[in-house]
Amino acid sequence: MSPNTDNQIEPNDSAQLAEDFLNTAKVLFKENNIPEAVQHMDLALTLSENKLDYLIQKLELLYQFESFAEYVSTFNTQTKLLFEQLDLKQFCYFLDCYIKLLVISEEELVAMLTEAGVPAVLSNLYTDILNDKIVEFELQAYYLYSEQNYKAALDYGHLALKVVEPNLELLLLEARCFSELGLIAQSIDRYEKICLAYPEDKHAYLELARIYYISQSYSEAVALFKNAISYGYDEKICLEAIATCYYRLKNYNLATIYYKKYLTYAEDVSDIHIKIADCYKLLKEPALEKKHLKLAKNPNRLLFQNIIMALLVLIGIISLIIILQVYGIV
C-alpha cells in the first residue's frame, strides 16, 4: 500500500515519507510490479534530501530486477550528475552495467559520454579503474597537452581532479585546453576561478588578459595585464597590449604613455612611433604628431639626440671638476 500523500507534507515529514516510498518500491520490485515500483522510487527521489543516495538505490534496484530499459534511461539522464558526485570507481561500476545492457560500440560510447559532458577517454579506461589498475591521469594529461591533443588532455585532467587535490598546474592545464579548443566561456570561467584561488599567479592573469584582448573586452584586459606585471611578468610582454587596449577604448592620452614606455623594448620602433603619432593626431596635437612621424622615418634620431645630450652633460661635469681642481677647491 502506498503512503498517504493526500494531506500537505510538512518539511520534517518529507524524509520519512521518502523512506516509506522507497520501502514500498522495494516490495513492488519483488512483486515484479515494475511500473509502480519505478513510480514510487521517483516519488522517493523527489522527496528525499539525499537525492544521490536514492538515485544510487534506484539504479541498483533497476539492475537487480532486470528493468534494463528504465536503467538505461535513468543513467542517460543522470550521467553528468553521477560522474560529478560519485567517486570514479563507483561511477565506472554503473557505467559498466550500462555498457553491458546496451552492448554499444566504442564510438557510440564516446559520443554518449561526450554529449553528457563526461571524459570520453573513460570508454577505454573504465575496466582498468574497476580492476584497480594504476592510471597516471595527471601525467598523461600533461603529456597529451605537450602533444597538442587538447581534448584528450582535458579529459585526463578532469579525471585527475577526481583522484587528486586540485593544484595550480592542473587547473591551468584545463583552462589552456579549453582555450585551445575554442571553448572560450569555459576557459574564462576556469581562469577566473584560478585567479580567486591563487591571487598571486601571474600566468592566469596574463593568459586571461589575452583572451579578453582577443575578445575585444579591453577594459578587463587592461586590468589583468597590469596584474600580470604586478605579480612578476616582465612589462615588455604587456606594455604594447595595454597601450592598444587604451587606444581601442579611445583613451589616447594613456595609449600614448604606454606606447612610449614600450619604445624601450620594441623591435620595430618606427611602427610604435607611427602609433604614437596617430594618438597625437586624434588628440589634435599636430606638432607632436609631426615629431613622431619624423622619428618613425628616422627612429635612431632620438637615440642620437639622447646620446649627444648625455655626452654634453658628461663633458660639463668633467669641465667643472677640472676648474674646481685648478682653483684648489677639490
CB 113 within 8 A of CB 106: no
CB 82 within 8 A of CB 94: yes
| pLDDT given at position 311 | 61
What does DSSP assign to residue 251?
-
Q: What grid cell was written down for 42?
A: 521517483
- The span from the CA of 217 to the CA of 194, in Å, is 19
| Nearest of 44, 89, 93 to residue 71 by alpha carbon | 93
pLDDT by position in tens, the chain (length 330): 555 554 444 555 788 998 999 999 999 999 999 999 999 999 999 999 889 999 999 999 999 999 999 999 999 999 999 999 999 999 999 999 999 998 888 999 999 999 999 999 999 999 999 999 999 999 999 999 999 999 999 999 999 999 999 999 999 999 999 999 999 999 999 999 999 999 999 999 999 999 999 999 999 999 999 999 999 999 999 999 999 999 999 999 999 999 999 999 999 999 999 999 999 999 999 999 999 999 988 755 555 555 556 666 667 677 766 666 766 665
Q: What is the largest CA-CA distance in the chain?
A: 120
| pLDDT given at position 306 | 57
| pLDDT given at position 4 | 52
Using a 10 angstrom Cβ sphere, with 0-12 exposed, 13-18 middle and 19 or more buried, the burial of residue 185 is: exposed
* Sign of the dihedral through C-alpha 32, 33, 35, 41: negative
* Sign of the dihedral through C-alpha 193, 197, 203, 206: positive
| pLDDT given at position 6 | 47
Q: What grid cell was written down for 101?
A: 545492457
| pLDDT given at position 109 | 94
CA 186 to chain centre: 6
Place of cell 507534507: 9
CB 110 within 8 A of CB 120: yes
Place of cell 600580470: 228
